[in-house]
């Protein structure tokens, strides 16, 4: 997996990472941590682990999803 796909495909908790800086390490919902380079509008591939977590009502970090 390339870094470009990796950074485009993961989902993040907006409560834990409300405004990550460019290049700042952030932890995705699946637990993968990598530098944040901005959200992609049309990710080519979605991380299946992140997608599964997004469908849950509560994220692993304890925050609730689906509010927006």
Min. distance of Cβ 35 from Zn ion in angstroms? 14
Handedness of CA 33, 34, 40, 44 (dihedral sign): negative
Nearer to Zn ion, 3 or 15 (CB): 15
User: Which member of 5, 26, 30, 54 binds Zn ion (CB under 5 A)?
Assistant: 30
User: What is the C-alpha separation between 18 and 54, in angstroms, rounded?
Assistant: 16
Kindly tell me the number of DSSP H helices and DSSP E strands found in the chain. Answer: 2, 2
Min. distance of Cβ 63 from Zn ion in angstroms? 3
Residues that bind Zn ion (CB under 5 A): 10, 13, 15-16, 28, 30, 47, 49-50, 61, 63
């Amino acid at each position: 997996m390339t870094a470009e796909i990796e950074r485009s495909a993961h989902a993040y908790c907006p409560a834990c990472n409300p405004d990550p800086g460019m290049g700042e390490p952030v932890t995705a919902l699946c637990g993968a941590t990598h530098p944040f380079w901005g959200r992609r509008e049309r990710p080519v591939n979605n991380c299946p682990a992140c997608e599964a977590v997004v469908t849950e009502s509560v994220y692993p970090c304890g925050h609730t999803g689906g509010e927006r």
